[in-house]
Structures are given as C-alpha cells and as structure tokens.
Structure 1
Amino acid sequence: MKKQRLMQILEGSKLGFWEWNVQSGDLLINDLWINILGYDLDEVKSDISSWVELVHHNDRNKLLKKINKLLKGESDLEFEEIEYRIQSKSGEWKWVSTRGKVIEKGDSGEVTVIAGTHSDITRRIKAEKQLKQINQELFALNTISQAMSRSNSLEDIASLLHSLFIETKAFPGGALYFNNIGETKIKRNMDWGLTKDILDFLPQLSVVSHYYEPQNDINLNAKIFQLINEIPSEINVEDYWKSCLAIPIISDQQMQGILFLFDTKYIEVNNHDQIFLKSIGQIIGVAYRKICLFEQVQDFSKQMQLLSQQLIYVQEQERKHLSRELHDQIGQLLTVLKINLQQINSQGYSEDNIEKSIDLVNNVLEDVKDLSFSLRPVLLDDLGLESALRWHLDKYAQHTGIHFNLNSNLGDIRFSSDLEISCYRIVQEAITNAIKHANPTKINIKIKYNNKHLKVLIQNDGQGFDVDLKLKEGVYQKSLGLIGMQERVALFGGELKIISSSLGDGTTVKVTFTVPPENKKRKGG
C-alpha cells in the first residue's frame, strides 16, 4: 500500500521511478521512466543490462562507477545526482538525471535492492548549452570587435582572421576578398588550404556580385558547389570539401567583400548561426570601412598639402612672370619711348619719331591688356562666361593652330562671379592639359543651362589616358591639374566626370553644377 502511494506521488511529480533487485538483476520501472525514452513498458527488457546498453558509451562508465561504489560499500547509502545521455526510441539522445539509494541489505550486509528516480533534463541541458554558446559568441564578438576597432590596415584584419580561423584550425580552408576602393573588381587579401583553381574561381562576379540577398545570407553550399564542380580540377570536391560558408562583409548596407570558409565536415547552419556569422561579417565590414575612410583622409590630407605647396609655387611663378613681363617687355618699350621723347625734346618736332612713339604706346597698352587678362579676364566680369571663353579660345587658336568650337545657350544669363571664374578656369585647365599631353587637333566646348543645372563639357580628339592612375599619381606628384579641377567642382557641390581611353579615343571632361533659377541673373541685373 505504501509503495503504491509512493508511485502515485512520483507520477504526480513527473519523476520516473526505478528499483533494481541486485541478486536477480530484475529492474522495476514505472511508465514515466520508460515514456521519457518514447517506449512502452513491454518494449524494453526489465533488467539492468538493458538500461545500461541504452546509455551513451561516453557516459556509461560514469553511471556504473556510482552504482559499483554503492554495491561495494565504498560510498554512502545513496549517490548524488548524475547526469548522462540515454538513447530514445527515435534514436535521439536524451539527457536524464538519476538519483539512487540502497533500500535493502541482506543478512551479511550486502546490498540487495537499490531504488531511485529518473527525470528528463534534455530541455534544461539544451538551454544551458545554448546560453553558454551565446555567452561564448558574445565574448567572441566583443573580442573581435575590439581587435577590429584597433585595425588600421587590411593586413591587421587578415592577421586577426588568421588567428581566428587558421591557428585554431576551425576551418581548414578559406579565402577573404574585398572590393578594391574605387573599382568594381574584388581582390583576394588572404587564403588558406584551397587550390589555385578554386581561388581563381571564387571571385568571379557571377558568384559574388549577385550574392547578397537578405533572405539567403550565409549558407550557399548548393550554389557554390554547383559552380565549383565545373572547375577542371583533380580534386573531387564532393569527397574533400563538404561545406562552404559564404559570409558577406557588409557596411552601410553595401557589400564590401566576402569571407569563404570551407570544411571537410558537413555543417548545418541554423538561424542562430547565421546571425552570429553575419555579425562577424558586419564587424569586419565596419573595420574595413573605417580603414577605407582613414586612407581617404590620408589621401585628402596629402592633396591639401600638395595643393598648398602648389598654390605657393603658382603665386611665385605668377610674380616671376609679372616681373619678367614688366622688365623685359613693358620696361624696354617704355625705355625706347623715353629715348624718342628725349630726341623730340632735343632735336625738335619729327613726324617719324611721333609715329614711332605712338606705336610704342600702343604696344605697351596691348602688353598691359594681355598681362591683365592673364591675371583675371575683364571680359568675364563685364560680359560673362560665354564672351570671355570665346576671346580666350580665339587666342588659343591663333597660338596653337588647334580648331576650337564653342556651343553655348547662355546668351545674357549670368551666374555668381565665383561660379563663373571657376567654370572659366576649369575650361582653361582642361584645354591646357589637352595641349600639353594629348596633342589634339580639335577641341569642342559645350555649355548648357536648363534652369536647374549648368553643364560644361570639354572634349578633345587627342591621346587618352588612365584617369584613375593619373588621379592617384596626382596625390603623390605635382601633376595637380585634375585635382585642381576636382577641388573647384567640389567647392560648389558639383559633379566631375572624366572619360578617357588610352586607345586614342580622346578625353571628355563633364562638369555639372546645380544652379536654381533664383541663383542666376541677367546681364546688368
């Protein structure tokens, strides 16, 4: 009666009950004990060996040691809670907690009956493991984030990933690719464990550029292996690499690169794993973006330093030129004029001397006019951008033999003085660069305004060049014509595009300024 009541209490507490007769080997268990494993009572033999056979082989000795200590009298009459894995009917491993106690002994003091409880702790163990995993991942993300925040170069990022994935042997194969700054191609920054065929194939834009889809961020095994299997390689991918994870390197909602991780084991990536891997990609992306911005600031600083040096140099050259013009040209003409006037004063009136003096005065006036216009075109202030450019192009045509064509719809429309002089200097710089480096025969200039945008286009038929290379060279050399144009355009929030080809198709410079109607004016307005 007491035993039946005890069984009812145990069933109410959701605990399985077991009782083992040591001498006979019989095992008495209740429904809850066996239901934990998904069996019915008649499906399992009622002996201790059947129980032990279901225990995971790594946990079996742990359970037997506890029981043997009770049998040998090497411990108290009961053993503390022991946790182990036991196989259910479905094949799943369940975590259970077992307690036991000696409840009967023989006349000689030998243990005859041991009984105890049995409870399913699978959910608790899984929760503990998940919590532990989350804590480890948070610690890892924090460690990675701190290390990445100290990274000042792509080499620093590669070094950190080396310690994460290579030194720990977490993934036997992998590769890291980043988008080149200012380019559409991606570049491999590090790799390990992969053959050249795979490394050459991974960065194909057909794989990477269309890769980033929010609904399919990480696990690209099927897609990537379908493509990799097309590689004519001696390696049988299916027999060697079993899994490939592709982690997008994301910053500012843009894909900055991609990290491929290969494993020889099959890896299942659940939603939690995807969030963790995406977080790693985002941390790397933020670090990469910071490095890019740092390099841009460094380049900008170098540009500013060189532009300052160039400004001082140009000022000195202008002063030198002005001094030479005043001394060699105007000074000499005035000296001759002075001699003529002295002759007139000493020898009396001479019509020939008067004519020569008038010619000298005209030459002086023309030189002063040219000198003044070279410093700042008066026509620009008086008549506007179109008139000043036409005069400038006529002068260029006379001296170079190049055919110039100006197409403009400005008419009597005027803009701010600063904007007009910037447009004038941009055209002047583009023409000067073309004459110096491109050897053109024809240069076309178009200036159009549509009540919102002022567009300036300078096109020549000369030899082209690599625009990106020249802009980079301009940061480190004193060829600052293109950078000077960039600065003038940026000053007014405009857009500059330079299209050129080294194949001889010429060069086109396109400049666009946003100029609302209220910011323009008519001549005399």
Structure 2
Amino acid sequence: MEPTEDHIYVIIFATLFLAGMMSTFVISMVFIHRQRQAQNRQKMDQIKSEHEKTLLNIENEIQQETLTHIGRELHDNIGQLLSLAKLNFGSIKPEKIAEGRDILGQAIQEVRGLSKQLNLDWVESININEFIEQQLTRIKTTGYCETSLEAEFDLIELPKDQKLVLIRVIQESLNNAIKHASPDKILIKLHENGKGKQIFIKDDGRGFDSTQQASGSGMFNLKKRMETIGGEFNLTSAVGKGTEITLTLPN
C-alpha cells in the first residue's frame, strides 16, 4: 500500500516538529550552559575579590601591629639604651666611655633590626616556625607566662598569602589568650595527622563556654581567614579548662 499524500504531509510535519524540538532543546542547553559559565565566572571573581580584600586587610593589620611594636621598642628599649649611653659618655673615665660606645652600638643594631620590620619584606624570608618562636619568646620575656614550641616539621616553603593569613591568625590567637585567658602556659605544636599539617595552640587559662561564643565576630573572622587559603579553624574551650585552637593547613 503506497502512502497517500496526507500520510506524506504528516510524516513531513512530524519530522519538522521533531527537528524543531531538537533545535530548541540544543539551543536551550547551550543557553543554560553559557548562563552557568557566566555565573561560575562571577562567583570566581567574587571569591578572588574577597581573597584579595582579606589579604589587604591582613597586610594593613600586620603593618599596624608592627608599628605599635616598633613604637614600644623605641620608647622602652632603645630610648633606655640611649639614655644609658649618654650617662656613660658624660663620665671622664675611659672604661665608662668604652661602655657607652658598646651600648650605643647595641642601640644601632636594635634600630637596624626594627627598620627591617617597617615593610612586609620579612614575610617573604621568614618561616612560620621562626615567627612562632619570636612571638612565644616575646611573651615569655615579659614574664607574663611560660611558653613552649613543639615542631614535627618546618613550615618554610609557603606562598605569601598563606604566610600572611597564618601570621595574623596566630597573632590574634595569642593576643586573645593574653587578654582574656590569664594562662600559666601557652603551647604551640606543629604536627601532622590524617587531615594534614596542623598548628595546635593551647593555653591552660580560664577558658570559656565556646558554644556561647560561636557567633562572636572575632572567632568568625579567624575562621573565614583560614577558609580564604583553603584551611580550617577549629576552637574548643570550657570554663576552667583552657582553650585549644587547631589550624589545619591547605594540602
């Protein structure tokens, strides 16, 4: 039985209809794909912008912290050294004059050391182990509390953005312990487990109910900063049992 003219029209119409549906489907998929690409690009640009903004804020905070430290050192340390040198130079005794020269030389070395901290070039050269050691030594020499560092590895080869974030988070964690915890000892431990490399900061101070502080902006900021470099920030604390902070580094 040969197809009639009506059958041929039906076949042609069905073919055109299916072709139109396929074309519409393909165009729709292309449109959706391009829309998702645009959304992904927008999201990536937003993440990049937030990352850069976070790093800029951290750089400004570190510079401000450095300037504050330099101001204290100029007033308390170098100012005292110069006063001692002046007293010795006022003497007619040769040994006092020689002692004054030694003190003046020490003051010059101190000024040179401080001048290196006026920009962030030191971030490039320092490793996190050295930075932690410096921070703990500074706390211990004030007589505030005992400190110790246990390191299973050296954090030397890290990108600058990771160093900046870790430096600031460690600084803030130590500052919080000093301001609020009144500890007898602060321990920082660098160790590695199934999650990767971690920095463990523990104090034996008064502690607090961490469940009530979960929404605090300070801890939230530290958490967000670790997330900007692909790391994690975790805190546990209880009243009378001290505080433990774990910084998990990005793999």
Question: TM-score, normalized by length of structure 1?
Answer: 0.31
1:509 aligns with 2:245: yes
1:466 aligns with 2:213: no
Task: Give the secondary-structure state (helix, strand or coil) at the position aligned to 1:463.
Answer: coil
Task: Give the secondary-structure state (helix, strand or coil) at the position aligned to 1:414.
Answer: coil
Q: Could you tell me whether the CA contact under 8 Å between 1:377 and 1:388 is conserved in 2?
A: no
Q: Which residue of 2 aligns with 1:487?
A: 224
Task: Give the secondary-structure state (helix, strand or coil) at the position aligned to 1:434.
Answer: helix
Question: Deviation digits for residues 121-166 of structure 1, max 9, x if unmatched?
Answer: xxxxxxxxxxxxxxxxxxxxxxxxxxxxxxxxxxxxxxxxxxxxxx
Q: Which residue of 1 aligns with 2:100?
A: 356
What is the alpha-carbon root mean square deviation over aligned residues?
Answer: 4.2
Larger relative contact order, structure 1 or 2 (CA cutoff 8 Å, min sep 6): 2
What amino acid maps onto 2:246 in structure 1? K
Q: Could you tell me whether the CA contact under 8 Å between 2:136 and 2:147 is conserved in 1?
A: yes
- Partners of 2:214 and 2:228 in 1: CA distance: 18
- Partners of 1:327 and 1:404 in 2: CA distance: 25
Question: Deviation digits for residues 413-438 of structure 1, max 9, x if unmatched?
Answer: 53223323432332232222112111
- Partners of 2:204 and 2:65 in 1: CA distance: 30
Larger Rg: 1
Q: Could you tell me whether the CA contact under 8 Å between 2:226 and 2:233 is conserved in 1?
A: yes
Q: Which residue of 1 aligns with 2:233?
A: 496
Q: Could you tell me whether the CA contact under 8 Å between 1:385 and 1:420 is conserved in 2?
A: yes
Larger helix fraction of residues: 2
Question: Deviation digits for residues 201-234 of structure 1, max 9, x if unmatched?
Answer: xxxxxxxxxxxxxxxxxxxxxxxxxxxxxxxxxx
Unaligned runs of 5+ in 2: 1-52
- Partners of 2:174 and 2:83 in 1: CA distance: 36
Q: Could you tell me whether the CA contact under 8 Å between 2:150 and 2:190 is conserved in 1?
A: yes
Larger strand fraction of residues: 1
Task: Give the secondary-structure state (helix, strand or coil) at the position aligned to 2:213.
Answer: helix
Q: Superposition pairs for residues 423-462 of structure 1, below 5 Å? A: 423-449=166-192, 453-462=196-205
Q: Superposition pairs for residues 41-80 of structure 1, below 5 Å? A: none
Q: Which residue of 2 aligns with 1:409?
A: 152
Question: TM-score, normalized by length of structure 2?
Answer: 0.59
CA deviation after TM superposition for structure 1 residue 509, in Å = 0.8
Aligned length: 197
Q: Could you tell me whether the CA contact under 8 Å between 1:460 and 1:507 is conserved in 2?
A: yes
Q: Could you tell me whether the CA contact under 8 Å between 1:385 and 1:414 is conserved in 2?
A: no
Q: Could you tell me whether the CA contact under 8 Å between 1:452 and 1:514 is conserved in 2?
A: no
CA deviation after TM superposition for structure 1 residue 355, in Å = 2.3
Identity among equivalent positions (%) equals 27
CA deviation after TM superposition for structure 1 residue 496, in Å = 1.3
Change (3 A) 1:334 1:395: closer
Unaligned runs of 5+ in 1: 1-303, 475-479, 516-525
CA deviation after TM superposition for structure 1 residue 330, in Å = 3.7
Change (3 A) 1:402 1:489: same
CA deviation after TM superposition for structure 1 residue 448, in Å = 2.5
